[in-house]
Amino acid sequence: MFTERFEMARKVTISRDIILENGLKMLIRDGYSAVNIKSLAAEIGCSTQPLVWHFENMEGLRKALAEYARQYSKDRAAIPKGTSVEAIEAMGKNYVEMALKEPNLFRFLYLGQNPLGNPFRLEDVVGVDGGAKLLADITRETGISGRSATRCIWNTVIYSHGIATMIVTGVLKTTESAAMAMVEYATDSFLRKEGARR
């Protein structure tokens, strides 16, 4: 009976959040293929029991880790304060920054490693937290329509995603400042194409 209580207490002390935090840390550092129940338990410094207790098996762990990684990315990509043009640029720069600083996370989320699939739709981009306000700000600050503003956001995201993919796959070697300047130039070009006043 004492042994059972001791084992249960040990399982509970390694929380789900601790496991997911360490799983994300491993994913970012070593890549998705390095994360499994045994390697993650070693990373945390525990037996495999707490991981199995929280997630049942590797499939459960991978799905939970995928959701955790998505939320981590979403939290970091919040629309910043500033002008609406800076906000559009920031949406694109987030992809490039992840590709440069956390390439394994970018691969996982956007290049087919995510076990939840890639439910990325352009329609969802403007639907991010604060998206309606951003569109209203763009139209007010630049004089373009909401439809034109949406196109500018989509084009910036697509262009930036392309740069980020080229960086992660080794096709493009560039500095962070040069990559960010490309995003700024592209955003400005997309806005001018839509007739924005600047």
Q: What is the pLDDT along the chain (198 residues), one digit of tens a residue?
A: 445 544 554 444 899 999 999 999 999 999 999 999 999 999 999 999 999 999 999 999 999 999 999 899 888 876 667 788 898 999 899 999 999 999 999 999 988 878 777 556 666 666 555 678 888 899 999 999 999 999 999 999 999 999 999 999 999 999 999 999 999 999 999 999 999 876
- Contact, 187 vs 89, CB < 8 A? yes
The domain locations on the chain are 2-70, 79-193
| Length, in residues, of the chain | 198
pLDDT value of position 9: 47
Q: Which residues contact 60 (CB under 8 A, 6 or more apart)?
A: none
Burial class (CB in 10 A: 0-12, 13-18, 19+), 149: buried
pLDDT value of position 68: 95
pLDDT value of position 15: 94
Fold adopted by 2-70? Arc Repressor Mutant, subunit A (1.10.10)
**d(Cα 36, Cα 58) in Å, to the nearest integer?**
7
Please identify which residue in the block is written with the tokens 């935090």: 21
Residue in 22, 36, 125, 30 with CA at minimum distance from that of residue 69: 22
**d(Cα 6, Cα 11) in Å, to the nearest integer?**
9
pLDDT value of position 11: 43
Q: Which residues contact 127 (CB under 8 A, 6 or more apart)?
A: none
pLDDT value of position 77: 77
pLDDT value of position 124: 66
